[in-house]
Amino acid sequence: WVGAAQAATVERLTLGRLAELSERVFIGTVTAQASRLSTSPRQVWTDTTFRVEQVLKGDKDTAPFTLTLLGGEAGQGADRLRQVVHGYPTFQVGERVVLFLERTPAGLVVTGLAQGKFTVVEDAKTGRPMAVRDVGDLAFVGAHVPTRTFLGAPADPNRLPLDQLVTVARGGVPLATPVLVRPEAVETPQISLPAEVAR
């Protein structure tokens, strides 16, 4: 049996706001996953364990961290249940990620749902580590407003160099500060004309 929760509608977060809302941010690798079935209510929960490589914000403890999210597949035979929660991030064993976590009454959860999970990949052309995220399953509140882009800011907040994302996570500030660019003043050379010769 397959159960699917409705798509999540969330606030679109800038990278700076994502960092600001997060209590803890770390780079880590998924080492294990296990799903279990609860009976009341009948739901699937998945525990994902991470080896913490580098803490960028918050508690500096690098002990393994386990994140529990609704969704997954568990049970046997006719009792087997696969539950999909749209908007939630998904993980795979061996995946290296940057994870943004915010505090709720239920504990730490991924900030902004899928907005708070970036996968670390290598750029095919340059070999540079990149942080990419998939937010295609999210519905955002309000109409899309084009973001003003400043010199030095990434063209796409869903794909950017890992070192830039690390900078944001550590400082909780936008990638670039708006700079007012003024055209350089051009001095007009002064030309001295010869004085009129008296006749």
pLDDT tens per residue across span 81-99: 888 888 999 999 999 999 9
CA gap 122, 133 in Å, rounded: 14
pLDDT higher than threshold 50 for residue 137? yes
* CA–centroid distance for 89 within its chain: 11
How many domains does the chain contain in total? 1
What Rg value do the Cα atoms of the chain yield, rounded?
25
Name the more confident of 104 and 174: 104
Closest CA to 173 of 57, 62, 59, 61: 57
* CA–centroid distance for 44 within its chain: 25
pLDDT at 180: 45
pLDDT higher than threshold 90 for residue 68? yes
pTM score of the predicted model: 0.79
Confirm whether 199 is domain-assigned: no
Mean pLDDT across the chain: 83
Say if CB 83 and CB 3 are below 8 A apart. Answer: yes
Confirm whether 176 is domain-assigned: no
pLDDT higher than threshold 80 for residue 149? no
Confirm whether 111 is domain-assigned: yes
Confirm whether 33 is domain-assigned: yes
* Cα separation values, 148 from 164, 167, 177, Å: 18, 20, 11
pLDDT higher than threshold 90 for residue 119? yes
Confirm whether 26 is domain-assigned: yes
* Cα separation values, 186 from 69, 182, 183, Å: 61, 12, 9
pLDDT at 79: 81
CA diameter of the chain: 118
Confirm whether 194 is domain-assigned: no
Domain membership of residue 108 as a residue range: 2-171
Confirm whether 177 is domain-assigned: no
pLDDT higher than threshold 90 for residue 181? no
- pLDDT > 70 fraction of the chain, expressed in percent and rounded: 76
pLDDT band of 174, cuts 50, 70, 90: very low
Confirm whether 10 is domain-assigned: yes
Cis ω for the linkage preceding 41 (within 30 of 0): yes
pLDDT at 195: 53
pLDDT higher than threshold 90 for residue 34? yes
pLDDT higher than threshold 60 for residue 74? yes
